[in-house]
Structure 1
Amino acid sequence: MAPRITIEGGHPAGQPHVREVGDPTGGQTLAPHRLAGCAHADPLTPADRYQELFVAVQMGRIFPDSKTFTDAMPRQDPATILAAYRARAGAAGFDLAAFVHAHFALPEVPRSCYESDPNQPLADHIDGLWAVLTRHPAQHPPQCSLLPLPHPYVVPGGRFSELYYWDSYFTMLGLAASGQGGLLRGMAENFSYLLDTYGVIPNGTRSYYLSRSQPPVFALMVELFEDQGVQPELGFLPQLRKEYAFWMRGADCLAPGQACRRVVRLADGSLLNRYWDERDTPREEAFIEDTGTAALAARPAAEVFRDLRAAAESGWDFSSRWQEPGGGLETVRTTAILPVDLNCLLFKLEHKLAELAQAAGDADAPVFAQRAQARREAIDRLMWREAEGAYFDFDWQRHHARANLTAATVVPLYVGAATPAQAARVAQTVAARLLQPGGIATTERVSGQQWDLPNGWAPLQWLAIGGFACCGQAALAHEIAHRWLVTVASLYQREYKLVEKYALQPGEDGAVGGGGGEYPLQDGFGWTNGVVRRLLQDHPAHVACRCRAGVKSVHP
């Protein structure tokens, strides 16, 4: 067994703690810091705070989008509102919708504030969007689910009006390309603040997101910050330790074949990670959707809710990747799966911890390096399939690799966990099976879920481009970048905007936005802006650099 490392961190504040085998922390929580001059979030989630009122609003479909009520702002003390509901709800003729509108201010989702000047090139359009998508601490309303932050930050757009974890890495690529150094520094401070305050970077900055995180890209952020000259006085090592503590909590108590939260110890003693959520109830922002999904399942609802929440932590919400082969969303088994991309990101985190600890003269440096090497060997042993030339997720409950190829196969290349020979094989496989006219596909299956065919997503394009470029597969990296830029530019020319996801097969009039999932296609859009802005910088001669809204000049 590897030597033990002293790690720091706390549990998400205000959340229950589930013990799958044993909890060595004793269920302690870390209270959030206070922010001077800034409104404070309600310490309880909306479901906890409003109880039967919350359920009545969501199940009564008072709003088409379940996220609307979770983000609503109370017009008076929340306890007073709940007491008023309890006093009036049983009265004849009680109007729930009228009660909610009288007691809450609803979040406003801008319908269209992203239209471009027809004479504006794509890069200038994106540069102008940063101000539209930036939020300021002084704008944080009191007593609602929004978590306050000390510095301005960039949101994705549309219904997503808070800071999101893994989105922000890809967004910040564009901030750097746009010369937004001040905003980039503020984002760095915000993520450090979240780790110092809650012991976790939550899925997003809402109280109902504190029970889960997202793909751990903070180590990648740190390298971006270093590259851009953003360096706090004490460095990022303390925050990286907290990130690692969150993902590895419970590892020391595991026997072979056991799991605790996000950690699984396999029969051979290897430690690998999965996605998880501290709660096993419907997601508050998708309450009625999750309730309906669980009703279709042939297993306890709590298990379904946990797996749905864990899939939300993955960022791939939702995808056939997490389901039984050929099954619907009710067959989701996220917690049974050890994802290749998650474990590669944790390999990167361990590698970065070793690097920074060594520079600081920290005695833990060789232990982190040993853990990174052990994880890489386990990824090769369990997730690499030479016959197919790709990496696959591993089903730890059924003791075999999954059969579904996904774009996650490029992440080992991006973080330096693949050999040149493996990278060459992955390049062949991706070119043959995932490459589409508009970029690389998320999976090979059409399921109706948004993280499946026919959709393409900016973060996956970037990971593929960067992974192939750094592993000697420059031609494929260039081809993916070209196809993605043409896709985004084509829709921009016709509709004057960028969107959350794109269909990888063009329509009769060119590129179209993606579909599927639980909500309509969102305009904005943070990580699309970030990846495209960086690609425009990296490919200054590309035709997309010259495209303008309303002027058809880019062709597939």
Structure 2
Amino acid sequence: MQQRSLTAISAACIASLALASAACLADTQVGAALPPAPDILYGDLFVAVQTAQIFSDQKTFVDSTPKENPTTIVQLYEAQKGQPGFSLLAFVNQYFTPPADQSITPPPNQSLREHIDWLWTGLTRTTTSAPDYSSLIPLPKPYVVPGGRFREGYYWDTYFTMLGLQESGHEDLVDNMLDNFAYMIDTFGHIPNGNRTYYLSRSQPPFYSYMVELAAQKEGNKVYQKYLPALRKEYAYWMQGASGTARGSATRNVVVLRDGTVLNRYWDELDTPRNESYIEDVQTAQQASGRPANEVYRDLRATAESGWDFSSRWFGDNQNLSTVRTTSIIPVDLNSLLFHLETTIVRGCTLNRDFACVARFVGYAARRAEGINRYLWNDKGYYGDYDWQLGKIRDNQTPAMLYPLMAAVAWPDRAWKTAQTVQSVLLKDGGLTTSTYNTTQQWDAPNGWAPLHWIA
């Protein structure tokens, strides 16, 4: 089962969770040093468990908690694995506690609004501490999880969760999650994919500026000033290496094109199989003939950062996951979100009367707007992604083309053309299809996704 992103409301409609029990809380506190991710913590044992598919979902083991010190468990495994009759399943059951089934049953005869309001409690977590050696990252304030197998908070999902919370009158939870993200930016330098140690090597679509804007609509301009330091730190994360990157090359999330235009891509610090999808990633790399495995792993991880995992949008041949080339692609959605981040920082700096900051970020936003409209416009009539390695616009038609309209970076005539393309190509009975390719991937036709409909 692949990882995917869901809004809290849509997830709640299919699988809800009860509050985490007090028994799951132990010694790792907010601000304490975190253990390594499970693949590092358990080494060969991790590989053995995931390869043997002890659990049907690869996420189960990395969300499990050890009953002993991991060093002791690994030593016991090394001592016992070669003995006659050794059972890996029995060993795992003896030394690990899998995540508990926390599903809940809603009361009968609820209206849709009653059901959603009722679910907020069931989907809210307070985890100021976590079990020893757990992959869960404690957070200082309560937060909402999507539900089902997603037992932690996710970055870009949270914006859409906040829309529902604000509609339901839970502005306190909106503020709590803004504070949690500011805490993670201060602690880790960025907002990770989710609050798990195995997500720390990447972020997700940077919606934090939209979250701040949402809160400010209810609470006033003080919100921009309060979170301005966090916004600037997040921007610094996405722009690491920009000043030292040669033209025609990339550093981390930054791509500098041959004419000096600076735009961004999705990227991950690591080039190994994902903890939560280990066997799937290994199998994909095996199918990618002629490509180094670590290159495939990096692209798979970068796709997870995009939230569109997986989609023909990132495939070299538009059909097969093994041709994934996400780090070679400059995405239109990411750069639109970063334009919004730049203009939000301008607003915060204006309120603080920091005019040097205003001038600097007005320049950043203007140059990004020029880059988006130069490189991310497809002459067939829509905004799209650009393959910087091949030096050409990609022809994939997806609802990502609507992000420049949402971020107000689209030229007016191009906005109209994009809207017409969406209507003629992507609009189907029931809503917008996520792409024009039916690849069996979840971010492809005929599937539709709630966040993309909201953006549209």
* TM-score greater than 0.5 by the shorter chain: yes
Give, in angstroms, the shift of residue 355 of structure 1: 1.7
Output aligned runs, 1:216-227, within 5 Å.
216-227=206-217
- Alignment partner, residue 521 of structure 1: none
Q: 1:95, CA displacement in angstroms?
A: 1.0
Counterpart of 2:166 in structure 1 is 176
Alignment counterpart, residue 188 of structure 1, candidates 154, 157, 178 = 178
Offset at residue 38 of structure 1 (A): 5.2
Check whether the contact 1:166–1:217 (CA below 8 A) recurs between aligned residues.
yes
Per the TM alignment, residue 142 of structure 1 is displaced from its structure 2 partner at its CA by: 2.7
Match of residue 455, structure 1, among 435, 447, 450: 447
How far is 1:116 from its partner? Answer: 5.0
Greater relative contact order (CA < 8 Å, ≥ 6 in sequence): 1
Question: Who is 2:17 aligned against?
Answer: none
Q: 1:312 deviation in Å?
A: 0.3
Matching residue within 206, 218, 221 for 1:228: 218
Q: 1:437 and 2:429 equivalent?
A: yes
* 3-state SS, counterpart of residue 161 of structure 1: coil
Secondary structure in 2 matching 1:278 = coil
Report the CA distance shift for 1:418/1:189 in structure 2 as closer, same or farther (over 3 A): same
Contact 1:41 1:143 in 2 (8 A): no
> Deviations along 1:84-105, whole A, 9 cap, x unmatched?
2122122111111111111111
1:134 equivalent to 2:124? Answer: yes
- Alpha-carbon offset, residue 385 of structure 1: 2.5
Write the letter of the residue equivalent to 1:332: V
Name the residue aligned to 1:420.
412
What are the ranges of 5 or more consecutive residues in structure 1 without an aligned counterpart?
1-34, 465-556
How far did residue 121 of structure 1 move?
1.4
Of 83, 86, 96, the residue aligned with 1:94 is 86
Cα distance in 1, alignment partners of residues 62 and 387 from structure 2: 34
CA contact (8 A) 2:216 2:223 kept: no
Distance 1:461 1:41, change over 3 A: farther
Q: Give the % identical residues.
A: 52
Unaligned runs of 5+ in 2: 1-26
Structure 2 contact 212–224 (Cα < 8 Å) conserved: no
Alpha-carbon distance in 2 for matches of 1:155, 1:423: 34
SS in 1 for 2:84: coil
Post-superposition CA distance 1:122-154 (Å, at most 9, x none):
111111110010111256333210000000100
Q: Aligned to 1:330, what secondary structure does the other structure show?
A: helix
Separation in structure 2 between the aligned mates of residue 437 and residue 140 of structure 1, nearest angstrom: 45
Q: Find out whether 1:267 has 2:253 as its counterpart.
A: no
Q: Could you tell me which residue of structure 2 aligns to residue 108 of structure 1?
A: 100
Counterparts of residues 522-537 of structure 1 (less than 5 Å): none
- Alpha-carbon distance in structure 2 between the residues aligned to 1:234 and 1:409: 31
Q: 1:367 aligns with which of 349, 357, 360?
A: 360
Change (3 A) 1:397 1:320: same
How far 1:272 sits from its partner (Å)? 0.4
Match of 2:14 in 1: none
Residue type of the alignment partner of 1:417: V
Contact 2:319 2:437 in 1 (8 A): no
Letter in structure 2 aligned against 1:379: I
2:201 to 183, 187, 211: 211
Once the two structures are TM-superposed, the CA of residue 420 in structure 1 deviates from its matched residue by 2.6
Once residues 114 and 439 of structure 1 are traced to their aligned partners in structure 2, the CA distance between those partners, rounded to angstroms, is 29
Which stretch has the larger CA shift, 423-432 or 126-135? Answer: 423-432
Quote the Cα distance in structure 1 between the aligned partners of 2:265 and 2:51. Answer: 31
Task: Kindly provide the CA deviation profile for residues 237-284 of structure 1, in whole angstroms up to 9, marking residues without a partner as x.
Answer: 110111111100011101210110110100110000000000000001
Query: What TM-score results when the alignment is normalised by the length of structure 1?
Result: 0.75
Q: Does the alignment pair 1:242 with 2:218?
A: no
* Cα offsets for 1:323-373 (capped at 9, x unmatched): 023441000000000000000001111111122112212222111111111
3-state DSSP of counterpart to 1:90: coil
For the aligned residue pairs, the C-alpha RMSD in angstroms reads: 1.7
| Residue range with higher mean Cα deviation, 232-241 or 175-184 | 232-241
1:19-30 to 2 correspondences below 5 Å: none
Label 1:116 to 1:432 Cα distance change in 2 as closer, same or farther (>3 A): farther
Residue 364 of structure 1 aligns with an amino acid whose one-letter code is C
Instruction: Give the deviation of 1:433 after TM superposition.
Output: 0.5
SS at match of 1:449: coil
Q: Structure 1: which amino acid aligns with 2:240?
A: R
Of the three residues 345, 352, 358, the one matched with 2:350 is: 358
Deviations 1:261-311 (A, max 9, x none): 110100110000000000000001000000000000021100000000000
Which deviates further from its counterpart, 404-413 or 132-141? 132-141
Matched, 1:311 2:303: yes
Q: Distance in 1 between matches of 2:116 and 2:129?
A: 23
Q: 1:38 to 1:313 in 2, by over 3 A?
A: closer
Residues 68, 41 of structure 1: alpha-carbon distance in 2 compared, 3 angstrom cutoff: farther
Aligned to 1:276: 267
Give a deviation string over 1:440-485, Cα, whole Å, max 9, x none.
1111110010000111111101111xxxxxxxxxxxxxxxxxxxxx
Is the contact between residue 135 and residue 152 of structure 1 (CA under 8 Å) also seen in structure 2? yes
Structure 2 CA distance for aligned equivalents of residues 41 and 321 of structure 1: 38
Q: 4+ residue stretches of structure 1 with deviation over 6 A?
A: none
Q: Does 1:59 align with 2:47?
A: no
1:200 — aligned with what? 190
- For 1:375-524, what aligned pairs fall within 5 Å after superposition? 375-386=368-379, 388-464=380-456
1:216 maps to a residue whose letter is P
Letter in 1 for 2:182: S
Preserved contact between residue 165 and residue 204 of structure 1 (Cα < 8 Å): yes
Instruction: Describe the shift of the 1:305–1:37 C-alpha distance in structure 2 as closer, same or farther (beyond 3 A).
Output: closer
Q: Report the Cα offset of residue 40 of structure 1.
A: 5.3
1:147 aligns with 2:140: no
Aligned residue in 2 for 1:252: 243
Measure the CA separation in 2 of the matches of 1:282 and 1:438.
Answer: 36
Alpha carbons of structure 1 residues 241 and 95: separation in structure 2 relative to 1, 3 Å? same
| Shift in alpha-carbon separation, 1:268–1:185, aligned structure 2, 3 A | same
